[in-house]
A and B are shown apart, each in its own frame.
Chain A
């Protein structure tokens, strides 16, 4: 070891001075996943509110009077079917079959909208019989929780239409594939939240 430093030794770097290169979109799926996790926390808060206030009927109607499990079962089926058709759309995307993918996306959209239609019908019915969100703490927390989920499905559907137009115009470019990956996670995540909703709100309320 000589004390005179070799010129190249001075250039030895112990940390990277050059910002290292990330390929475009390499961290998108992780970032979107972190968003979904934060969304999950928001739903957890709404579930906690429902858990606390779900028994406070204020002498008003309870779940057994208000809910129709057949309707909920139909809604669950719609969302579940839309989940698998979205999966088929993603598989068609990986195979590069664009028109097939568009057909699956259209079917997914149909079931998503059918879900929303049934949910809006249910909300309309509840408000009409005087069981609106202002009736009791139970109904306030019910509308907040189920309504937020419905709002997510609404925005998911808008995103789905946007992607169908994007893919129609630009094709299956990497950016669109990345966006579809995010939307796929979003859509399946909403289905997972719905499992919590139909279990804790509807089924446990009807026992």
Chain B
């Protein structure tokens, strides 16, 4: 006769055991210094006129932003895969997936709508349309 004893669901005992990382002066200052560098470089790049190729400048600026967002996530928001049993990370991954689909989809669809628009959507030429 096997009785499956059901363990009482053990929840976090206290704030310090739920995998939340509080950071330290060192981690905050590291994050701050990295952020300052990652902000200053793209600003300096654009304010001094940018590179020859506009596209390359744009790619570099966006790359710095992505890295800086990651720095903020790690050093300021203390993201890790342990807090709240991984649900923080899971909800963030879900959000990132939705955001990417939404942004890429909107820009793609609207770009094609713009380029495939009838060439002369001019109000002067629409006079008499339907009248």
- CB-based contact B3/A12 at 8 Å: yes
A69 and B99: CB pair below 8 A?
Answer: no
Task: List the A side residues contacting B1 at CB < 8 Å.
Answer: 1, 6, 9
Bound: A88/B12 CA distance, A: 26
Residue B57 lies at the interface, judged by CB distance under 8 Å to chain A: yes
Q: Are B6 and A80 in contact (CB under 8 A)?
A: no
Q: Would you give the shortest CB distance from B122 to chain A, in whole angstroms?
A: 14
Report the bound CA distance from A18 to B98 in whole Å. 37
Cβ-defined contact, A30 with B99, below 8 A: no
Number of A-B contacts (CB under 8 A): 143
Q: Does B88 contact A (CB under 8 A)?
A: yes
Report A183-203 CB contacts with B as 1/0, cut-off 8 Å: 001001101100110111001
Q: What CA separation (Å) do A174 and B15 show in the bound complex?
A: 9
Interface size on B, residues (CB 8 A): 56
Whether the pair A21, B65 counts as a contact (CB closer than 8 A) is no
A41 CB-CB contact with B under 8 Å: yes
A51 proximity list for chain B (CB < 8 A) = 103, 106-107
Cβ A185 vs Cβ B95 within 8 A: no
In the complex formed, the residue of A with least CB distance to B75 is A87
Shortest Cβ gap from B93 to chain A (Å) = 10
Give chain A interface residues in 60-113, CB to chain B under 8 Å.
Answer: 69-70, 72-73, 76-77, 80, 83-84, 87-88, 90-91, 94
Which B residues between 85 and 120 are near A, CB-CB below 8 angstroms?
87-88, 91-92, 94-95, 98-99, 102-103, 106-107, 110-111
A134 at the interface (CB under 8 A from B): no
* Distance to closest chain B CB from A177 (angstroms): 7
4 smallest CB-CB distances across A and B, nearest first, come from A199-B65, A48-B106, A87-B28, A37-B95
